[in-house]
Structure 1
Amino acid sequence: MFVRHPFERLASAYKERIATLEKDRIQPEPYYDDIRKFICQRYTHPNWVRSLLKKVHPCENFIPPFKHFVEFILTNTETSFGIARMDGHWQPYTVVCQVCKFKYNFIGKYETFNHDFNSLLKRLNVSDWNNEKRRGASGHNTWDYQQLFSSLPDNLICRLKRLYNDDFQLFNYRIEDYVNRTTLTC
């Protein structure tokens, strides 16, 4: 299996799935458009009332802020049932990949993908795999993602830290890679 820093996964899911409007996508993703609209309705325009006079919904072409996305994904994460129902793009790896139930014989990291993938190929004794042109990330970098987390209040950072704690521990990731706060106490 290959893993990715939990906060990078979360920020990437936001940028690619929520902060990209339908008109800007290569393929339609109505499921994520519905989530984006739901987040907008719930956190940005909770008092909006549909009427015959208002044919265009204010959330149709609105990108909710990262804070509202985080509030949405943290809903119902106090229970294992709530976490089990999360979307796979932001569900902790320890749940989606059932890390504690299966004995993985190889765990690579997205951050060192080229090196790790070559190691996997060697382990599998595969020499003719063309991995010259790997499809890379969406063009966003760590700094872009750090900016998203810098806008979050401490209480949301602490709740995210609790949600992804097992991923941080098992895969040796640090929260400080995306959150630069000396005063954060959870």
Structure 2
Amino acid sequence: MGTSRMFRIFVVLGSAFMILLIIIYWDDVGASHLYLHTPVSPGPKIPHPPPQQKPQTPRTLSFLSDIDAFVNQFLEPGTGEPTDPAPADTSNQSEKAEERYIPRREWKIHLTPLAAELRERQEQRRRLLQEMCANDSVVFPGKNRSFDDIPNKELDHLIVDDRHGIIYCYVPKVACSNWKRLMIVLSESLLQDGVPQRDPLAIPRDLVHNSSMHFTFSKFWKRYGKFARHLMKVKLKKYTKFLFVRDPFVRLISAYRNKFELRNEDFYRRFAQIMLRRYANQPTPPASVDEAFSVGVHPSFSHFIQYLLDPQTEKDMPFNEHWRQVYRLCHPCQIQYDFVGHLETAEEDAEHLLRQLRVDNVVEFPTSHRNLTASSWESDWFSTVPVEARRELYKLYEPDFRLFGYERPDSILNE
């Protein structure tokens, strides 16, 4: 009798536990609907035909179809733009929500069309990417893998703004601080006194690069679980995807100037000390960056190039993002970017992109007055680097040169 009673108790407890698991599971996957519904205004009211009997499908397929249908009802294919110009009914919105919403009628109306050469420039850059990805003479690790084969940790540079249907792959040393500022403003991820921050330049630098301010693809797994990759593909298909690049060698010079010619304790301890020990004949370099600068010690640009070419460097850890190749950060052969900006044409490209995204009334790209690294300085910077090392460095970054249309720097490689 006692055994039978214990059995009934276990059955009841087991059933209750299973029901609790089901509730938690569907509450968790339901978060994707909650997250997705905030970016866009409600769609037009369309009369629905009476429901028809449909054959039952497995729950997983039904949920994935729900995601597709939900995104499709708000977005025009390939544009990432909301299809509805204004809210159908704002009577139930809070005052803050009404304040945040910017009706389409208030958006800028451009009386002149976008210059034909700017549209052609983008077409050429996108076409070049497609051609280089299909060209067997352009070889680099990971080129031919599928999007599903990219490890989750390598998707941490793809920032998603669901409010406007935008995906931005940021490349350090290519105006990424200002583009990150714009993404924070657009996604309304930073509040000031309960109201979204609207001034990009008012966002402190430490917050700009704080990972908690940006929702990246690498965070999808934690939020969406096994549906993460499917949802990534939906957004890659529907959202507008962009990145900005610059001449690879000039980017390296900029990274060196910023991280090793200025006092940066983190980069000194993580990288400069290694360079000084390996290549500058300093087995016991100063313990801190302040001590090093006080005695005039820091790795030279030539030491930095040696570090990049040293096979031991990547054995110890992957390249830091500030000098990692763009093809490793943004996966241009797996992701078909809608817009490819160049830092060399940053102002024109930024205006073109913001108009294309239809957010140029919401944000303006901040004009940088900082001392930028000029391409004309390349010869001076590489004068201390042996010619053979320059050629090896070009091989290391050749995919970026060719993918994004930068000419081979023969004047540096043939001296």
Do Structure 1 and Structure 2 share a fold, with TM-score over 0.5?
yes
TM-score range, shorter chain: 0.7 to 0.9
Alignment of 1:40 onto 2:276: yes
Alignment of 1:18 onto 2:253: no
CA deviations over 1:23-80 (Å, ceiling 9, x no partner): xxxxxxx33111112211211124x358xxx9999x82312111110010122289xx
d(CA) in 2 for partners of 1:108, 1:163: 22
Counterpart of 1:75 (choices 287, 310, 334) is: 310
Aligned to 1:183: 414
Aligned to 1:115: 348
d(CA) in 1 for partners of 2:245, 2:358: 22
TM-score normalised to the size of structure 2?
Answer: 0.37
* Contact 2:268-2:288 within 8 A present in 1 as well: no
In structure 2, do the counterparts of structure 1 residues 144 and 63 end up closer, same or farther at CA, with 3 Å as the change threshold? farther
Percent identity between matched residues is 25
Aligned to 1:6: 248
d(CA) in 2 for partners of 1:94, 1:4: 13
For residue 160 of structure 1, report the CA deviation from its aligned partner.
1.1
Aligned to 1:63: 298
In structure 2, do the counterparts of structure 1 residues 84 and 98 end up closer, same or farther at CA, with 3 Å as the change threshold? farther
In structure 2, do the counterparts of structure 1 residues 136 and 167 end up closer, same or farther at CA, with 3 Å as the change threshold? farther
In structure 2, do the counterparts of structure 1 residues 105 and 161 end up closer, same or farther at CA, with 3 Å as the change threshold? same
Once the two structures are overlaid, the 10-residue window that deviates more, 138-147 or 59-68, is 138-147
CA deviations over 1:157-179 (Å, ceiling 9, x no partner): 11111111111111010232xx6
In structure 2, do the counterparts of structure 1 residues 168 and 84 end up closer, same or farther at CA, with 3 Å as the change threshold? farther
> In structure 2, the residue corresponding to 1:2 is in which secondary structure?
strand
Listed as ranges, the matches of 1:100-179 within 5 Å are 100-131=333-364, 133-176=366-409
Alignment of 1:89 onto 2:307: no
For residue 84 of structure 1, report the CA deviation from its aligned partner.
7.9
Larger Rg: 2
TM-score normalised to the size of structure 1?
Answer: 0.77
Q: Count matched residues.
A: 168
Which runs of 5 or more structure 1 residues have no equivalent in the other structure? Answer: 23-29
* Contact 2:354-2:360 within 8 A present in 1 as well: yes
d(CA) in 1 for partners of 2:350, 2:317: 29
d(CA) in 2 for partners of 1:55, 1:74: 25
d(CA) in 1 for partners of 2:352, 2:278: 46
In structure 2, do the counterparts of structure 1 residues 43 and 136 end up closer, same or farther at CA, with 3 Å as the change threshold? same
Q: In structure 1, what residue type is equivalent to 2:321?
A: G
Cα RMSD, aligned residues only = 3.0
* Contact 1:3-1:107 within 8 A present in 2 as well: yes
* Contact 2:250-2:374 within 8 A present in 1 as well: no
